[in-house]
Amino acid sequence: MASQLDIQPDCSLRALNTFGIDAKAAHYLEVSDVGQLHAVYLDPSLRAMPRLIIGGGSNLLLTKDFPGLVLHIATLGMAVTGEDEQHVFVAAKAGENWHRFVQWTLAQGFPGLENLSLIPGSVGASPIQNIGAYGSELADYFHACDLFDLRTGEIQSLTKQDCRFAYRDSVFKHELRDCAVIINVTFALPKRWQANLRYSELANELSTRGIHAPTASDISQAVIAIRTRKLPDPAKIGNAGSFFKNPVVTAEQRDALLAQYPSLVSYPQANGGFKLAAGWLIEHCGWRGKTIGAAGIHSQHALVLVNHGGASGADLLRVANQVRDDVLMKFGVVLEAEPLIV
């Protein structure tokens, strides 16, 4: 069965991860239809290999060559699939570029995803991370997804509840990691839309533009402008966007830190805790703009780990670990990486 699949041996993954790490896959398959996944399932040798499932490679740090089978999901397609009294349902296949999909929904006249504009990566990866930005997250609009289970060869449909979404987390990072391939994702977009301007940075950007009753497209353009200013272009400097999650601490921890550091940036949470700005913590440990060899922290955004050119995945991980250790020592707060580290 493997002979029927275009599996490439000893394949460089450099162009398939936004850090630009030149790691290799022992076996690589670009997946453009579900039939290929079924063929992988039916082949005992392929089924037994270690697996790495990738999309846009924008949430991935490769620290070594991968000894098994890399499945690169490249399925394409977007469509309106239905509606009810409150929502329009739109779906995209897993290989679609996330930002392209967001812009397509807006062009169709379906608002809702505008705050998530310009987030790198693919539609299929978006539920795994429960991507979020500027007061919105994917779970707010997720309806369902179909996946191919490489353990059983079956296609399953998961609801929002099944996915167990949390802050930058989902069931796909736990029980379903490396065994479930998301095929497509369906979103429920509201017919009665309201602008989400909870983040002051976004509201200020719109105000600066003289926009006081923004459309969804206005918000999208403002988000694109902010992200373009703050975050480096992976085509110019290797990075995976924000490398660390914003840590959530108890009210007592936050109050103790605030007493010592009055400029601490924090946001109240529904559970009574507080989310701290990881970028603030990192910057106040002196890491913003600091480099060690070709690896370092971006000069404009302390949350962004960057490859200035030629850094290995191990070099980048070493810097990330030093940042994490310094934040723990200074603030007593544990930082958790967002990307998958392989």
Set 126, 136, 242, 312: catalytic member = 242
pLDDT at position 112, please?
97
Distance CA 33, CA 240 (A): 27
Domain annotation covers residue 208: no
Give the DSSP per-residue string, 199-266: SHHHHHHHHHTT-SS--HHHHHHHHHHHHHHHS--TTTSEEEEE-BPPPEE-HHHHHHHHHH-TT--E
The sheet carrying 248-249 orders its strands as 248-249, 274-276, 266-268
Q: Are residues 186 and 87 both part of a single domain?
A: yes
Q: Are residues 186 and 91 both part of a single domain?
A: yes
Under 8 Å between Cβ of 140 and 73: no
Distance CA 316, CA 323 (A): 11
Contacts of 236 (CB under 8 A, 6+ apart): none
CA dist 165 → 38, 142, 143, 189, 241 (Å): 27, 10, 12, 18, 21
Domain annotation covers residue 199: no
- pTM of the full structure: 0.90
Q: Are residues 103 and 67 both part of a single domain?
A: no
Set 30, 96, 205, 338: catalytic member = 338
Report the CATH number at residue 25.
3.30.43.10
Under 8 Å between Cβ of 114 and 160: no
Contacts of 317 (CB under 8 A, 6+ apart): 61, 63, 341
The sheet carrying 78-83 orders its strands as 78-83, 87-93, 180-190, 142-149, 154-159
Give the range of the structural domain holding residue 131, as residue numbers without chain letter.
Answer: 78-190
Distance CA 169, CA 172 (A): 8
User: pLDDT 10s per residue in the chain (342 long)?
Assistant: 444 799 999 999 999 999 999 999 999 999 999 999 999 999 999 999 999 999 999 999 999 999 999 999 999 999 999 999 999 999 999 999 999 999 999 999 999 999 999 999 999 999 999 999 998 999 999 999 999 999 999 999 999 999 999 988 999 999 999 889 999 999 999 999 999 998 889 999 999 999 999 999 999 999 999 999 988 988 899 999 899 999 999 999 999 999 999 999 998 988 899 999 999 999 999 999 999 999 999 998 999 999 999 999 999 999 999 999 999 999 999 999 999 999
pLDDT at position 1, please?
43
Under 8 Å between Cβ of 131 and 163: no
Residue that finishes a domain, picked among 58, 73, 88: 73
Q: Are residues 91 and 153 both part of a single domain?
A: yes
Report the CATH number at residue 132.
3.30.465.10
Domain annotation covers residue 161: yes
pLDDT at position 2, please?
47
pLDDT at position 293, please?
95
Domain total in the chain: 3
User: What percent of the chain shows pLDDT beyond 90?
Assistant: 90
Is 168 tagged catalytic? Answer: yes
Element (H, E) at 314: helix 313-331
Strand partners, 248: 275
Q: Are residues 167 and 86 both part of a single domain?
A: yes
Distance CA 39, CA 46 (A): 9
Distance CA 16, CA 60 (A): 10
Q: Are residues 128 and 166 both part of a single domain?
A: yes
Distance CA 94, CA 75 (A): 6
Set 51, 168, 227, 254: catalytic member = 168
